Amino acid sequence: MPARKEYTAKFKEQAFRFVLEEIESDESCEHASDRFAPKPSVKARTLYNWYAPGPAHPAVAPDSIEEFLAQKAALLKENLELARANAVLQDAAALFGAALDRQEK
Co-location of 44 and 65 in the same domain: no
Co-location of 70 and 103 in the same domain: yes
Co-location of 76 and 86 in the same domain: yes
Co-location of 25 and 54 in the same domain: yes
Q: What is the pLDDT of residues 23-68, one digit of tens each?
A: 777 777 777 778 877 777 888 888 777 766 544 444 444 567 778 8
Co-location of 17 and 37 in the same domain: yes
Is the CB of residue 42 less than 8 Å from the CB of residue 7? yes
Co-location of 65 and 42 in the same domain: no
Q: What is the pLDDT of residues 62-96, one digit of tens each?
A: 567 778 888 888 899 999 999 999 999 999 988 88
Co-location of 6 and 54 in the same domain: yes
pTM: 0.41
Q: What is the pLDDT of residue 11?
A: 83
Quick one: which of 38, 49, 55, 67 has its CA closest to 12?
49
Co-location of 48 and 3 in the same domain: yes
What distance in Å separates the CA atoms of residue 29 and residue 43, rounded to the nearest whole number?
A: 14
**Total domain count, the chain:** 2
State which residues form the domain around 14.
Answer: 1-60
Co-location of 67 and 101 in the same domain: yes
Residues 6+ apart with CB under 8 A from 24: 32
CATH number of the domain that residue 26 is part of: 1.10.10
Q: Write the CA distances from 34 to 56, 63, 86, 90, integer angstroms.
A: 20, 22, 36, 41
Amino acid in the structure at residue 22: E
